[in-house]
Amino acid sequence: MKLEITATAVKSWFQYRCERKLVYDSMPLDERRTVPIEEAVVASPWAEFGNEFEHRVVEELRRTSPDQLLAPAPGSDQLSEVMSLAFLKRQRLEQYAHQTVLRETPTLRRLLQLPPEISIRPGKPDLLQADTVDGRTAFRIIDVKATQVATVFHKAQVALYALMLRCALKEQNLAGEIAPLGAIWHLSAPGEASAWQEETFPLRGYESFVVDFFRSQAQRLISRHVNRQRDDTFFHIYFKCEQCKYLKHCEKSISDQNPPRSWDVSAVPGLSHESKRALLDLGVRSVRDLSEAAGLAARGHALPWALMARGELVVARARALAKGGPQRVPERHSWLMPPRVDVAIHLVADRDPVDGNLVTLGCMVARGGREEFSVAIIRRAEEERQALRDILGHVVEVLSEVDRWNASHDEAKGLFAHVFLYEPSEAFDLQEALGRHLTDPGIRAGLLHLIRMFPPEEVIAAEPEYRGIHHLPATALKSVVDQLYALPVKVAYDLAGVTGALATANPPALRPYVPAPEFKRPFSSRLSIDVSRALRAGQGDTAVARRDVEARLAAMDGLMRWILADNARITPSFLRLNKKPFRFQSQFHPLDATDLDVLVAHELLENRAALMSTLTELARPAEERRDRFRCFARLKLQATRSVGKSWRMRFFVPPESRQAELYSGTIGLILTNDDPDLRLNPQMWGQVKVNISSDLESSHHLEVDVFRPVYESATFERLRRTTPEDGWFLDAIHVDFNTERVVRFLRSLAEVKS
């Protein structure tokens, strides 16, 4: 197969790692049309904005440095060969050259070890910058990108341009050299006055990536076959494919017109490219194949780590697709969501990927059978501040009402409040939005109110082990669904797919999200770039956008209540976040908060986040914890003896558990029979806490020391009496010696200051 590879195709490879896209982009156009390959022909809003941004940057450069820019002739999209050569020879003294043409050379072909079937199309870096130092000319490659950050794949594209230019200079025996730093000029942060922001980076490392790509990956592509009868290019459908012009072509492999069991294995959510490659090597190609592939983890080194750690989960998801019905994955628990919610606060946030600001912010409060909606459609970036004040101000008002109720009633009549988002990315976007406006007194006070959602001082004082774990204030519903359920949803668990699948469950989830055609996306329920850019341009219908946000909020509430009802039917409960009735913290007040109070609040937040991360890991099934190297699973007890102030227990470690990264120096270990009431309850950890006395090393045995008070406690005595000989599990827990000391120190500083 003959391939003509472009710099853009190389960038796409490092962005998507998609062999099929690389081959299709590099095939001669006439060959691609004869297959035929279905591709989208509608211009991407992102590409259009990218062209507009490049034009603005060049025009600003022309305005500020009118004699320093060598640009193509009017009506042309590239610098002529004559002008390009004159610039490289420094016969033209402008500092910048726009759209210089770089061509493949024999020197480049030798460097990249290209076979005859592969060629590189001419490249046109957005800008070349020429600087003269000590009489020597250095050319800097600059690419203009309409993004908020410079990414690895952007830098790989610049690196290819650098290789092409270096080889061209050598080929023509020109005196110039390549500057060691490449540059990306990208969008400035919201609120910045500059037209663009520059990020420089060392080129050499990225050049090595590009050379390795051509010498290894690209070499293999010429053996691929793409014609009417055969297409053996590797592909994988996942969330990044949404913007790909070949998505419709690839989606034929998971078309609803075919039986789900025959779908390509890409249909199963949670698979990576590497996982799919490993499955193909094992002969697992379809949803049916994967649904029948029990015991994936037992194949050990034949699988990548991600698939080995999640093997049984993806098998369960394949079975859900094959059978067409939802199912809860057994032996799974979640610390991310409480089993009771009296006052539910649902939030939706959409970010414009171009400007980086929020374009929508919505809230729904559900309590006592009533629903209250607050939605802001943000057409201009300067409206974001007021939207945050209005929506989050309403959240604070609701929580304050709950706090006052719980302060005046006993715990039996207390109200349980919780905040829900659907996508974890919505929380990140909301966090960034708040960070942009911390100079606003109202938003600063509101943020500190939200930090006070952790437990009040008197709860921590009365229950030292409590530490706020039961008061995790917010949940991303998608993360809960990912942990607990296998659903007949293709590729990704977006809100529309999840609620649509559960609408057919028994009992069904109410009010599924059914987006209008203009709001429908393949793998996400957040606003698309098309809709957000239309709203930004004043063209979108704000009333229609508001109804979409309200529909998502209502669907989230229905999903939340379905999960609560499912949990109530199960014994023991799989939702482990057993919260207390909601109370604000009392040790500082937002209106009187000092900088030291803010430091205390952030220290507490960091501690809670670390603890929740540990609990999330411990909520995984034993096999998954073992395959993530955080658990010695199914240890076999062989002997117990008294050693000083401890009892020493000797275990045989089965082969599949010997890779665990737990050692004698590991602080914070618990020994259990895998009972979730022990491993998922930090208040019980002290009753099963142990230390490793001798590492596994080359032996097949492990020894742990248990202090006598622990060993002789009722809890551990019951463990010794009821645990099967080979039913012991050793896990790492969260230990924090510093937070309490730091908080005490900061408060002592505040007292001295006052």
CB count within 10 Å of CB 366 equals 22
Residue 468 confidence (pLDDT) above 60: no
Query: At 113, phi and psi to the nearest 5?
Result: 55, 50
Determine the pLDDT at residue 133.
Answer: 77
pLDDT, averaged across the chain: 86
Count Cβ atoms below 10 Å from residue 500 Cβ, excluding itself: 18
pLDDT in tens, 559-601: 999 999 999 998 888 998 878 888 876 654 544 445 555 555 5
Tokens read off for 134: 């000590």
Pick from 200-204, 507-511, 537-541, 740-744: least confident: 740-744
CA 266, CA 290: separation in Å to the nearest integer?
A: 11
For the chain, the distance separating the N- and C-terminal CA atoms, rounded to the nearest angstrom, is 77
* Closest by Cα among 295, 235, 231, 293 to 264: 235
463 compared with 355, residue with greater pLDDT: 355
For residue 344, give the nearest of 96, 616, 559 by alpha carbon.
559
pLDDT at 464: 35
pLDDT at 304: 67
Residue of 739 and 636 predicted with greater confidence? 636
Task: Please report the sign of the dihedral spanned by the C-alpha atoms of residue 717, residue 722, residue 724, residue 729.
Answer: negative
What is residue 630's predicted lDDT score, i.e. its pLDDT? 83
For residues 615 and 427, the model is more confident at 427
**How far is residue 321's CA from residue 333's CA, in Å, rounded to a whole number?**
22
Give pLDDT tens digits for 87-142. 999 999 899 999 999 999 999 999 999 999 999 999 999 999 999 877 789 999 99
Q: What integer pLDDT is reported at residue 751 of this predicted model?
A: 60
pLDDT at 470: 44
The pLDDT value given to residue 110: 95
Report yes or no: 351 and 524 within 8 Å, Cβ to Cβ. no
Q: Report the SS3 class of residue 225.
A: coil
pLDDT in tens, 217-262: 887 888 888 988 899 999 999 988 988 889 999 999 999 999 999 9
pLDDT at 462: 35
Q: Is the pLDDT of residue 496 over 50?
A: yes
User: What are the distances in angstroms from CA 229 to CA 31, 36, 254?
Assistant: 14, 11, 19
Mean per-residue pLDDT for 37-62? Answer: 80
For residue 110, the SS3 value is: helix
Residue 522 contacts residue 491 (beta carbons within 8 Å)? yes
H or E segment and range at residue 427: helix 424-435
Q: CA-CA distance, 719 to 672, in Å (whole number)?
A: 7
Q: State the average pLDDT over residues 296-306.
A: 60
Confidence of residue 32 (pLDDT cuts 50, 70, 90): confident
pLDDT for 134-190, tens place per residue? 778 999 999 999 888 888 899 999 999 999 999 999 999 998 899 999 999 998 876
Q: Are 563 and 337 in contact (CB under 8 A)?
A: yes
Compute the average pLDDT of residues 465-488: 75
Contact partners, residue 641, CB within 8 Å, separation at least 6 = 647, 648, 650
Lowest pLDDT segment from 300-309, 438-447, 484-493: 300-309
pLDDT score of 20 more than 90: yes
Element (H, E) at 647: strand 646-652
More confident residue, 630 or 546: 546
pLDDT in the model for residue 405: 95
Instruction: Give, to the nearest 10 degrees, the angle between helix 273-281 and helix 305-323.
Output: 80
Question: Which has more pLDDT, 390 or 664?
Answer: 390
Which residue, 305, 254, 295, 297, is CA-closest to 275? 305
The Cβ of residue 535 has, within 10 Å, a number of other Cβ atoms equal to: 23
Please give the average per-residue pLDDT across 203-223, as a whole number: 88
Residue pair 130/89 in contact (Cβ under 8 Å)? The answer is no
What is the DSSP code string of 592-627? Answer: G--HHHHHHHHHHHHHHHHHHHHHHHHTS-HHHHHH
Percent of the chain clearing pLDDT 70 (strictly above): 87
The mean pLDDT of 306-315, rounded to a whole number, is: 78
Residue with tokens 């023991």: 572
CA dist., res. 519 & res. 552, Å (int): 11
- In 283-411, the DSSP E strands lie at 327-328, 343-351, 358-367, 370-377
pLDDT of residue 469: 42
Tell me, what's the pLDDT at 215? 92
Residue 474 and residue 337: Cα distance in Å, rounded?
8
Min mean pLDDT across 37-41, 663-667, 702-706 is at 37-41
CA distances from 617 to 298, 483, 513, 738 (A): 21, 11, 30, 22
Query: Residue 629: which pLDDT band, with cuts at 50, 70 and 90?
Result: confident
Return the pLDDT at 25: 93
Lowest mean pLDDT among 62-71, 229-238, 617-626, 670-679: 617-626
Choose the weakest-confidence range: 467-476, 595-604, 702-711.
Answer: 595-604
Confidence at residue 148, expressed as pLDDT on a 0 to 100 scale: 83
Distance CA 144, CA 126 (A): 6
456 falls in which pLDDT band (50, 70, 90)?
A: very low
Q: Is the pLDDT of residue 321 over 70?
A: yes
